[in-house]
Amino acid sequence: MISIIVPTYQEVKNLQPLSEMIQTALTEAGESSYEIIIMDDNSQDGSIEKVAELQAIHPIRIVTRTENRGLSPAVIDGFNEAQGDFVVVMDADLSHPASAIPKMVAQLRDGESDFVLGSRYVEGGSIDESWTLWRYINSVVATIPALPITRVKDPMSGFFAIRKADIPCSQNLSPIGYKIALEVMVKGDFPVVSEVPIHFVDRIHGESKLTLGEQLKYLRHLRRLYQYKFQTKAEFFQFAFVGASGFIVDLAFYLVLQMFGASHTVARAISFWPAVTWNWMLNRTITFSHREKTKKTTQWGAFATSSLLGFTVNYGTYYTLTKYVPFFTEHMILALIIGVLMGMGFNFSISNLFIFKK
């Protein structure tokens, strides 16, 4: 069965033409098993009565929401309502052609794709002739920053299809604003994402609710998705940066202690500890600031142990390469750099997985 989720707010005039458009498209394609789920934010415009009337002819029902309003939360609640193996999300305003649904679902059914987007910007897709240049520029400008986190040409689209079993767990979905398809695409990290061309038409009845406020929310949403997508890379760079600053602390203590009469071996053995403490403190407050704040002494102890082991990996790599690989006897600096990277990679993995808990 195909579950078609339609988020609505004051769309009473569109409910009948929408149901008819879906019925025509699906019956022509031989898809008789479907349900239309209207996820309505308590519109109070007669939508409930209209759906009751349409139920005589169409497999349609309405869920009235009164809390956590908004397009994206409505769709997420709709995922939990859906009974079908395939879920399609589309707008109510007839801007998304239901005729694309059979093709979108066929790609999921045949295993050709894991997430299918109705797309205006692939070959064969188009937008309403009535679009002004300003609206077009607006759409393109909004699209560009989303391209690095997706593999599609139309990441702003609100029309998509997915297998019910592949929907990311609702606790992992936290969109701000309108871009639910973008959220599901990024969080789902699907092996194959495809785009089916659509012709996007402007609504006839009612008004768009896409206000400036919603567009600003999109920027916050993007920031959140970038953090999600590139989190490990960003953490690694910050960890490396902190490590470099820790090296300066190490060196400073090493030199100052000798100025006060310590031997170089004693100075070296002592300078490690303020450097480790410095690194731990910065990683706790900057690199992994969003992680759980566990007990300081235990965490410091674990970090110092991991750093000592990291140093062993670092030195062991250097020693092995220069002793057993002839190339590195000529290129000791290279062996040293590889050792430092191996040690840092080890330290980062242990810190990321075990010390700074998620």
How far is Cα 342 from Cα 309, in angstroms, rounded to an integer? 11
The window from 36-44, 164-172, 226-234, 320-328 that contacts ligand GDD (CB under 6 A) reads: 36-44
Q: Which of 41, 114, 195, 250 binds ligand GDD (CB under 6 A)?
A: 41
210 binds ligand GDD (CB under 6 A): yes
Distances (CA, A) of 55 to 29, 96, 115: 21, 22, 30
The window from 6-14, 44-52, 243-251, 345-353 that contacts ligand GDD (CB under 6 A) reads: 6-14
Q: Which of 115, 178, 272, 346 binds ligand GDD (CB under 6 A)?
A: 178
How far is Cα 38 from Cα 92, in angstroms, rounded to an integer? 9
Q: Which of 4, 60, 92, 275 binds ligand GDD (CB under 6 A)?
A: 92
Report residue 82 as tokens. Answer: 């859906």
CB 18 to ligand GDD: min, Å: 9
| Phi, psi (deg, nearest 5) at residue 201 | -105, 150
CB 12 to ligand GDD: min, Å: 10
How far is Cα 4 from Cα 17, in angstroms, rounded to an integer? 15
CB 161 to ligand GDD: min, Å: 14
Residue nearest to ligand GDD (CB): 158
184, burial (CB in 10 Å: exposed 0-12, middle 13-18, buried 19+) = buried
Beta strand 160-163 with 86-89 is: antiparallel
Report the residue number, 63 or 249, with the smaller CB distance to ligand GDD: 63
How far is Cα 50 from Cα 54, in angstroms, rounded to an integer? 6
173 binds ligand GDD (CB under 6 A): no
74 binds ligand GDD (CB under 6 A): yes
Range 148-167, binding ligand GDD (CB under 6 A)? 156, 158
Going by C-beta distance under 8 Å and a sequence separation of 6 or more, which residues neighbour residue 225? 146, 149, 182, 183, 186
How far is Cα 228 from Cα 280, in angstroms, rounded to an integer? 23
Report the residue number, 9 or 272, with the smaller CB distance to ligand GDD: 9
Residues forming the site for ligand GDD (CB under 6 A): 7-9, 11, 39-41, 69-71, 74, 91-93, 95, 139, 156, 158, 178, 208-210
